[in-house]
A and B are shown apart, each in its own frame.
Chain A
């Protein structure tokens, strides 16, 4: 079954304690992305990756790191979490359009979400 798997689904942690949210896809998609969703603010892109070893900042990258060492995995790392990073996080993957090398969000698969609380 084609899917994007995020772990954990729920996490409560304390300020400053490093954590990693994993994201894995089984569709051989080139493109992967992380978003955070906060009430009234929609989805805001944190980081994205167009392919292995290629990552770029989205609109809200501060306080986050990512890596793309293999095509299927795109972990989100919070080196020193703070309460303002309490949010619902989504990972997504999609193929790239063949002609434009553009993320084809029409074909995007989203993970189930990770609800993170930093106290």
Chain B
């Protein structure tokens, strides 16, 4: 069985603050993918990043960065200098090689960035 835990249900920050969204996963697979998605108030799901289990390099994309640590089974997401447009629900997801089509999403973290 695989599981994704996003312990932070809601986070509220003031614009320009940095914020980290936590994601902890469980899987018995040694080969798997991790993903982050953003769901803005309009409702669509927007892909942010994919990381495979063999690549532990951290990634930075503009104000977004991701920290993947296999030792702690975590794949955390940091937004630097947050903006109001970052307000959304963020989902972490996992897809493993066993039951290759099965995908598991976390419950999501609702981020509110106040002006």
Contacts and interface: CB of A to CB of B under 8 A. Distances in A.
Interface of A: 31, 33, 35, 40-45, 48-50, 56, 58-59, 88, 90, 92, 96, 100-108, 110, 112-113
A75 to B, nearest CB: 17
Contact of B103 (A33, A96, A113): A33
Given A42-B91, A102-B95, A113 B35 contact: no
Chain B, interface size category, equals 20 to 34
Contacts of B47: 105-108
B9 A40 contact: yes
A106 B35 contact: yes
B102 A56 contact: yes
Nearest to B31: A100
Contacts of A59: 102, 104
B61 to A, nearest CB: 13
Interface in B46-82: 47, 49-50
Q: Which 3 A-B pairs have the closest CB atoms?
A: A106-B50, A42-B107, A43-B105
Nearest to B43: A113
Q: At the interface, is chain A mostly helix, strand, loop or mixed?
A: strand
Nearest to B110: A40
Contacts of A31: 101
Given A42-B6, A103-B101, 4 more contacts: A45-B102, A49-B101, A50-B101, A105-B93
Contacts of A113: 43
A96 B103 CA distance: 13
A48 B101 contact: yes
B98 to A, nearest CB: 10
Contact of B33 (A40, A92, A101, A106): A106
A90 B45 CA distance: 10
B40 to A, nearest CB: 13
Contacts of A92: 45
